[in-house]
Amino acid sequence: MKLTLAFALSFCASLAMAQNPLSTETKGLYDMVKGNLIKAAAKMPEENYAFKPTPDVRSFGQLVGHVADAQYLFCAPVKGEANPAPGIEKSKTTKADLEKALAAAFAYCDAVYSSMTDATVVQTTKFFNRERSKLTILNFNTSHNNEHYGNIVTYMRLKGLVPPSSEGR
């Protein structure tokens, strides 16, 4: 039974990939960094959410809030909506609130990434005052997430923690 289910799931994934390689691969990269960000937010102790390596940079918690805010910034135009601009970075400070906001922000984007096909990702929409393909906007989101995951990795290392992407090595 388990083998049959595993085969069926593998077949469905292969079929989706064959029909929509651009959108499927884009979602795969987004999911990878999303997982690392969620795990990093969970792994960092509450007392380190206010940590700043230097006074002129965001705290760990502000980075988490910034990433959450950015999900709406990038995914709203692809979804055809106005950015709800929740202001998470400036309004949430506790680990619990930030983890909850991050999960909600990723859920918002998950729906966008999951609904994309190769036919829809090439459609254009206004983003930063220019017409851009939805694929470009989604890739920009993943790139932005990776950029800030890199910051988060540094913060974790400075606190003696192994970041999620390095665990098990």
Query: Domain of 126?
Result: 22-162
* 93 found inside a domain: yes
* 116 found inside a domain: yes
* 109 found inside a domain: yes
* Domains of the chain: total: 1
Mean of pLDDT values over 131-157: 98
Give me the percent of the chain exceeding a pLDDT of 70: 89
* 140 found inside a domain: yes
pLDDT digits over 68-77, tens only? 999 999 999 9
* 2 found inside a domain: no
CATH number at residue 118: 1.20.120.450
* 6 found inside a domain: no
pLDDT digits over 78-108, tens only? 999 999 999 999 999 999 999 999 999 999 9
Question: pLDDT band for position 15 (50/70/90)?
Answer: low
Q: How far is 77 from 71, CA to CA, in rounded Å?
A: 11
* 11 found inside a domain: no
Q: How far is 160 from 123, CA to CA, in rounded Å?
A: 45
* 3 found inside a domain: no
pTM of the model: 0.89
Q: Is 132 helix (H, G, I), strand (E, B) or coil?
A: strand
Q: What is the pLDDT of residue 151?
A: 98
Q: What is the pLDDT of residue 49?
A: 98
Which pairs from 162-168 meet CB under 8 Å and 24+ separation? 163/36, 163/40, 163/43, 164/35, 164/36, 164/39, 164/40, 164/43, 165/36
